[in-house]
Amino acid sequence: MQIFKKATNFDFIGKRKLAVVFSALLIIASIASLATRGLNLGLDFTGGTLLEVQYPSAVDLGEVRRLLAANGFGDATVQHFGTSEEILVRIAPREGVSGEEVSDRILALLVEQSDGEARMRRQEFVGPQIGDELRDDGGIAMLIALALILLYVVIRFEYRLALGAVAALIHDVVITMGFFSFFQWSFDLTVLAAVLAVIGYSLNDTIVVFDRIRENFRKLRKLGPYEVVNTSLNQTLSRTIMTSLTTLLVLLAMFFLGGEIIHYFSLALIVGVLIGTYSSIYVASTAALALGITRANLMPVQKEGADQGAVE
């Protein structure tokens, strides 16, 4: 059963100015949040000690924070993890004290406070040097991915389309990270992997649209650039929506049923897929049009003497 039995005829390009304003507002808000609030970096990037503790009943986070503050751990971050019976304690590395010693001291305090009912479920230790290396390597990986994508699209299409594709990818990455900054969701290695996956997803959708634009520029010779791009977006709309919907169904299942370990990973992908679907329709194509893409830019180059060779 097809969702679109008839060809759609939405005027996407006619709404490009509204889309530009909307995207600009989102990007400005994201950059402002990243500059002022920053990212709530997880233990992978900051280093330190992580301790997951389970209680037989709901635990009051305020009491746990007061207990830790009274015993010299006022900088510890305490939050529920999955249920109200489980808590996650994170604390930055301390000079001259090993992560294992810090974890043991905190666990002893929690066990004493709960009359021996608190149980440790997980503990992790990450050194600050390793955290800095992971953060730097992650940023470099993202820049390399964008550079290689730019090169690939230039080779496959044309530089105006390549710049449009990269503009859409930067748009998606900045806004996704802006959401994590504004809401202070935990940003760790799994979220970074999700952001890189968003780049791949958005690029795939953009490539499909660009393929159709190139094909229609060669077929629909009586139409101008705006009409060709609008027609191409309508022709690929059903594919774009079906791909996004099926992907979101899986991601929503991961978000609600996958547990806390992949909670922010799936959340980053959900935000990225929604923004990526929007950008493949409006940002990438609008940027290419703004750069002056025409039919002549996408026509195959005729080799000199090709026609004479064909006659002979």
Tokens 């802006």 identify what position? 178
**CATH of region 13-39+130-298:** 1.20.1640.10
The DSSP letter of residue 301 is P
Residue 1 has pLDDT above 90, yes or no: no
The DSSP letter of residue 121 is E
3-state helix, strand, coil in the chain (%, to 5): 65, 10, 20
Helix, strand, or coil (residue 51): strand
Tokens 């390793």 identify what position? 130
Partners of 122 in the β-ladder = 52
CB 264 within 8 A of CB 192: no
Fold match, 13-39+130-298 / 48-126 = no
pLDDT band for position 4 (50/70/90)?
very low
Q: How confident is the model over 284-299, as a mean pLDDT?
A: 81
Residue 117 has pLDDT above 70, yes or no: yes
CB 109 within 8 A of CB 115: no
20-53 pLDDT per residue, tens: 999 999 999 999 999 999 998 877 787 788 899 9
Domain ranges, ordered by start, for the chain = 13-39+130-298, 48-126
Domain covering 48-126: architecture: 2-Layer Sandwich (3.30)
Partners of 52 in the β-ladder = 88, 122
Helix, strand, or coil (residue 248): helix
Measure Cα distances from 219 to 206, 228, 246 in Å: 20, 10, 31
